[in-house]
Amino acid sequence: MTDLIASLRDEARTAPESGIVDVITFGRDCADLIPLWVGEGDLPTPEFITRAAAASLARGETFYTHQRGIPALRQALADYHLRHFGKDWGAERYFVTGSGMQAIQIAVRLVAGSGDEVIYPSPAWPNLPAALQIAGAEAVSVPLVFAAQGWTLDADRVIAAITPRTRAIYLNSPSNPTGWIADRATLETILHEARRRGLWIIADEVYSRFVRGGLTRAPSFIDIAEPDDRILYVNTFSKNWAMTGWRVGWLSAPPEIGQVVENLIQYSTSGVAEFMQHAAHAALTQGEAFLAEETARADLGLEILTTALGDTQRARFTRPGGAFYLFFGIEGEDDSRDLARRIVRETGVGLAPGIAFGAEGEGFLRLCFARSRRDLSTAAARLRDWIAR
């Protein structure tokens, strides 16, 4: 370590490099690459959304705006939640953020710092424990367990992990990378215990609308919670409306802490561009048909992949209930980082190594199937042949 790096603050210096990025850097120049390693689809943002941004730019809406979000977008968020979650909790609880990641960062800052613990099920999106670490808090994992019937979380293990230093429980459902979905009983157990002990819940329901089996959304804390429960809902426009590159998300929190949330926005990025917010408004108000198309496309993609991998008799997976990732293992392959590198080098299919999602993910690979039938068919054939070679 050089002097310059040694002179940096520990929390910053020791933040981990993403294990997903690591394999991308290794494999980005492979011939005939089919990149299924990151969490984004292959469709650009639909035109009805980009048009709203361009129109706002043309109107000269390039000045500072409301730190909490423009009123029209906050109202649209309230309307969206009423439509899809059946609760009319009002516009005041919605805060527009510069990405779902920033919603997580702000949620973390609100409730945890040095000396605090936050519990989360693992495997998990690595940015969550990293954000906790940068805030000086300790990320305490409890395992999601893989078995023949799929991934399961033992809620009692979450409860058992609570210590006097625990400040919050982070629950990502549907889960990235496993596709696990918390059922209502699990949500009730966690909410009950959080209420009893005065803990916060950070509810990451980013993939809520990506579910299979004819559902339109996953079970949510919104189903069982009161508006003033200590729950911070973090979400993003990225996944539902093909807006990954935009960096716009939202936080839903009890309005009573609104000024604190606004201050954290003010002193980090000072709000989101007004023209971006008009695009987000279009997504919420006109985006259902696009979302339906995307989920149907993902279902087809999943079918293609599970058929091909099933054929090999050597792949371990169950059909994910939610999100758009297949998290699978290959018999006899334990080192996911090495495996992901070999696969991208030898087949051109880019996958994320399970170890990037925590020790509990080792031995698995994450594949994003929010892509075209053609790409996924090619990738499925290459993987089948490689595994069966």
Binding residues among 230-249 for a copy of itself as defined by CB under 8 A: 230, 242-247
293 binds a copy of itself (CB under 8 A): no
259 binds a copy of itself (CB under 8 A): yes
Determine the Cα–Cα distance for residues 355 and 260; give it in Å rounded to an integer.
Answer: 36
Q: Which backbone phi and psi does 316 adopt, to 5 degrees?
A: -105, 120
Q: Name the residue type at position 133.
A: Q
163 binds a copy of itself (CB under 8 A): no
Give the range of 2-10, 189-197, 316-324, 352-360 binding a copy of itself by CB under 8 A. Answer: 2-10
Nearer residue to a copy of itself within complex by CB, 41 or 219:
41
**Residues 154, 15, 11, CA angle at the centre, nearest 5°?**
105
Calculate the CA dihedral of residues 351, 175, 90, 279 and round it to 10 degrees: 10
**Minimum CB–partner distance for residue 284 and a copy of itself (Å):** 17
221 binds a copy of itself (CB under 8 A): no
Give the range of 16-24, 155-163, 280-288, 376-384 binding a copy of itself by CB under 8 A. Answer: 16-24
Pairing of strands 166-172, 150-153: unpaired
**Minimum CB–partner distance for residue 358 and a copy of itself (Å):** 15
Given 25, 163, 216, 263, the residue binding a copy of itself (CB under 8 A): 263
**Minimum CB–partner distance for residue 331 and a copy of itself (Å):** 32
Spatial CA neighbour of 186 closest among 147, 153, 145, 223:
153
Nearer residue to a copy of itself within complex by CB, 107 or 309:
107
218 binds a copy of itself (CB under 8 A): no
Residues 359, 126: contact at Cβ < 8 Å? no
**Minimum CB–partner distance for residue 28 and a copy of itself (Å):** 11
Peptide linkage before 121 cis (omega within 30 of 0): no
Residues 93, 227: contact at Cβ < 8 Å? yes
Paired with 142 in beta bridges are: 121
**Minimum CB–partner distance for residue 242 and a copy of itself (Å):** 7
264 binds a copy of itself (CB under 8 A): yes
**Residues 156, 162, 164, CA angle at the centre, nearest 5°?**
155
372 binds a copy of itself (CB under 8 A): no
57 Cβ contact partners less than 8 Å away, ≥ 6 residues apart: 275
23 binds a copy of itself (CB under 8 A): no
Q: Name the residue type at position 377.
A: S
Nearer residue to a copy of itself within complex by CB, 65 or 306:
65
Given 27, 36, 45, 323, the residue binding a copy of itself (CB under 8 A): 45
Nearer residue to a copy of itself within complex by CB, 9 or 389:
9
Q: State the burial class of residue 389 (Cβ atoms within 10 Å of its Cβ: 0-12, 13-18, 19+).
A: exposed
9 binds a copy of itself (CB under 8 A): yes
Spatial CA neighbour of 126 closest among 354, 365, 324, 370:
354
**Minimum CB–partner distance for residue 111 and a copy of itself (Å):** 6
Binding residues among 67-126 for a copy of itself as defined by CB under 8 A: 67, 98-99, 101-102, 105, 109-114, 116
Q: State the burial class of residue 334 (Cβ atoms within 10 Å of its Cβ: 0-12, 13-18, 19+).
A: exposed
User: How many residues at the interface with a copy of itself, by CB under 8 A?
Assistant: 77
